Amino acid sequence: MSTAAAVVVYGATGHTGRFIVAELRRRGFTPVVSGRSADRLEALAAAWGDVVVRPAAADDASALDRALAGAVAVINCAGPFAVTGGPVVEAALRAGIPYVDVAAEIEANVAMFADHAEAALESGTPVVPAMAFYGGLGDLLVTAAMGEWTAADTVDVAYGLSSWHPTAGTREAGQVSHERRAGRRVRFADGALRYHDDKVSQEEWLFPEPLGRRTVITEFTMADVVTVPSHLDVPRVRTHMSVEAAGDLATADTPAPEAVDALGRSNQTFVVDVLVRAGGVERRATAHGQDIYAVTAPLAVEAVERILAGRTRTTGAASAGAMFDAADFLRSLAPYVTVELPAA
Q: CA–CA separation, 251 vs 243, rounded Å?
A: 12
Residues 247, 162: one domain? yes
In a domain, 223, yes or no: yes
Q: CA–CA separation, 98 vs 224, rounded Å?
A: 21
Cis upstream peptide for 335 (omega within 30°): yes
Q: How many residues does the chain have?
A: 344
Dihedral angle of Cα 292, 298, 301, 305, to the nearest 10 degrees: -150
The pLDDT tens digits for 195-219 are 999 999 999 999 998 889 999 999 9
Residues 128, 142: one domain? no
Residues 142, 170: one domain? yes
The enclosing H or E element of 162 equals none
Residues 127, 216: one domain? no
Count of the separate structural domains present in the chain: 2
Share of the chain above pLDDT 90, in %: 93
The pLDDT tens digits for 30-83 are 999 999 999 999 998 998 888 999 999 999 999 999 999 999 999 999 999 999
Q: Which of 36, 153, 19 is nearest to 88 (CA)?
A: 36
Domain that includes residue 114, residue range: 6-132+296-323
Residues 171, 301: one domain? no
Residues 13, 116: one domain? yes
In a domain, 1, yes or no: no
The pLDDT tens digits for 317-337 are 999 999 999 999 999 999 999
Residues 139, 100: one domain? no
Residues 271, 184: one domain? yes
pTM: 0.96
Distances from the Cα of 179 to the Cα of 174, 175, 183, 185, angstroms: 9, 6, 6, 11
Residues 193, 284: one domain? yes
Residues 259, 307: one domain? no
Residues 275, 313: one domain? no
**Which CATH number goes with the domain that contains 304?**
3.40.50.720
Neighbours of 161 (CB within 10 A): 20
Residues 65, 143: one domain? no
**Which CATH number goes with the domain that contains 212?**
3.30.360.10
For 195, counting Cβ atoms within 10 Å of its Cβ (0-12 exposed, 13-18 middle, 19+ buried), the class is exposed
The pLDDT tens digits for 247-256 are 999 999 999 9
Residue 1 reports pLDDT greater than 50: no
Output the pLDDT for position 210: 81
In a domain, 318, yes or no: yes
Q: Which of 317, 329, 255, 315 is nearest to 285 (CA)?
A: 329
Confidence of residue 2 (pLDDT cuts 50, 70, 90): very low
